Amino acid sequence: MIRTLLIFSNISQRLTFLLFICILICLVQIALIFQLFSHHDKVHPSSRFMKLNCKQKLLCPNNITRFSIHIDKNIQYPNISYIRSPVFSIILDTIRNSSYYTNDSTSACIHIAPVDTIDRDRRSKNGDYLYFIEQRLKFFPEWSDPNKIHLIFNHYTGTWPSYHRTLDFNLPSHYILASTSLTYSNYNCLSHLTFPLFHSNYSFSSSSSSSLPSRSMLLSFKGKSYEDVQHHRTFFRHLHNNHDIIIKYTDHTNTSDDKNEYIQLLQQSHFCLVPSGRRLYSYRLLETLHYGCIPVITTNDDELIILPFSEIIDWSKSVIIYSNSSLSLLPYYLKMISKTQRNDMQKQCLTIWLEYFSSIQRIVLTALHILNDRFISSFSSLSIQY
């Protein structure tokens, strides 16, 4: 009898424990669902963007009435080149061939010194960092002229974890910085221009299909984990289910097979993770747009980055910003997006890529068009005169 009572007692204790576990699991699930809905407004595509609406207009110096740009010349040493990266070389060639270029320095609205400022991170290993840059800039008389406006292009300024934003040289009196490291807290309508980040060997020539291919995966990512810096992208591995969410990490040696698999994932996925890496910006944004995969941008940084050409592009229709929310809830959020909305976003990705990012030349000309709209051709009480 006593043994029977003990058995029933043990069974009762086990049932009580199992009931407690079930209740605990239910509470956790309810908490997760509540968190998902409470964060829904924070990650909705249209709510994490602020339109760059710069009302103040710039005025060209010396009463110049037409927006124009001049590439300055090193008169003292005309045969010396300070160009190191292929990207900067293409930028200069595109400017020379554009309708905005003038060969007359005195009639130019803005100037650009042919000194390579693309890479200003001393830790870069690609060999494009240019030393003694201030000494080199002194060979261009326009650089030290306080009445001139200078256009400066830059891709790399800092790295994880602080993404320290310094160009490593002193800026001139008046400038416009076309940079890939701008956030809403450090953007200035009068002196900044958003610019995309891309590899110097990025394959822009590949045609982008205007039709939407059949996609079988919800979400994908293939890239480096950066485990040495405890980057947030190391958490992506917990999303992998080997079914409709594929997460793959690569080492530092990317082979042709890795590249082909990466492109296949972009083509087969509805959404693609675009995390910040050792840079606040990512090469992946343009790559995902190219293949019509909706970018899901994540970052360690508390500041919200400004996407390229936000002055004219409405990114809310094509990109998802997912920040300050649990990554474990991301798949649930993505599944809540309707098929119609998803298709519309994918079409927008392809349209944006074709119109603004399908070549370096198109990127540079888009930047010049934005600057052209920013300057006015006559005096105004609302204008800023240098």
Q: Torsions phi, psi of 156, nearest 5?
A: -115, 125
What is the DSSP code string of 80-138? Answer: --B--SHHHHHHHHHHHTSTTB-S-GGG-SEEE-SB--SB--TT-SSS-PPSSHHHHHT
Q: How confident is the model at residue 98 (pLDDT cuts 50, 70, 90)?
A: very high
Residue 65: per-residue pLDDT: 86
CA distances from 11 to 7, 19, 20, 108 (A): 6, 12, 14, 88
Check pLDDT > 60 for residue 336.
yes
pTM above 0.85, yes or no: no
Residue 233: per-residue pLDDT: 76
Q: State what percent of residues in the chain have pLDDT above 70.
A: 74
Which runs of consecutive H residues, i.e. helices, occur in the chain? 2-38, 40-43, 86-96, 133-137, 256-268, 284-290, 330-335, 339-352, 360-374
**Which residue would you say has higher pLDDT here, 36 or 259?**
259
Q: How confident is the model at residue 384 (pLDDT cuts 50, 70, 90)?
A: very low
Distance between the two ends of the chain, CA-based, in angstroms?
Answer: 99
Residue 333: per-residue pLDDT: 92
Of 159-163, 199-203, 382-386, minimum mean pLDDT range:
382-386
Q: How confident is the model at residue 266 (pLDDT cuts 50, 70, 90)?
A: very high
In sequence order, what are the beta bridge partners of 289? none
**Residue whose entry in the numeric block shows the structure tokens 């609302």:** 382
Residue 308: per-residue pLDDT: 93
Residue 326: per-residue pLDDT: 80
Residue 90: per-residue pLDDT: 93
Q: For residue 36, give both structure tokens.
A: 């998902």
The stretch 139-163 carries a mean pLDDT of 84
The beta-carbon contacts of 127-135 under 8 Å, at least 24 apart in sequence, are: 127/84, 128/84, 128/85, 129/84, 130/82, 130/84, 133/168, 133/169, 134/169, 134/170
**Which residue would you say has higher pLDDT here, 88 or 257?**
88
Residue 31: per-residue pLDDT: 52
Residue 136: per-residue pLDDT: 92
The stretch 163-184 carries a mean pLDDT of 84
**Per residue in 184-242, pLDDT tens?**
888 888 899 999 998 877 665 555 554 566 889 999 999 887 665 556 777 888 899 98
Residue 230: per-residue pLDDT: 54
Indicate left, alpha or beta for 163 from its phi (over 0: left) and psi (-120 to 50: alpha).
left
| Domain 206-355 of CATH type 3.90.1150.10 | no
Residue 58: per-residue pLDDT: 87
Residue 46: per-residue pLDDT: 40
Q: How confident is the model at residue 30 (pLDDT cuts 50, 70, 90)?
A: low
Residue 385: per-residue pLDDT: 43
The stretch 314-342 carries a mean pLDDT of 89
Strands 375-376 and 320-321: unpaired
Cα–Cα distance between 368 and 95 in angstroms, integer? 8
Q: How confident is the model at residue 29 (pLDDT cuts 50, 70, 90)?
A: low
**Which residue would you say has higher pLDDT here, 244 or 378?**
244
Residue ranges covered by each domain of the chain: 57-201+361-385, 206-355
Strands 320-321 and 294-298: parallel
Q: State what percent of residues in the chain have pLDDT above 90.
A: 44
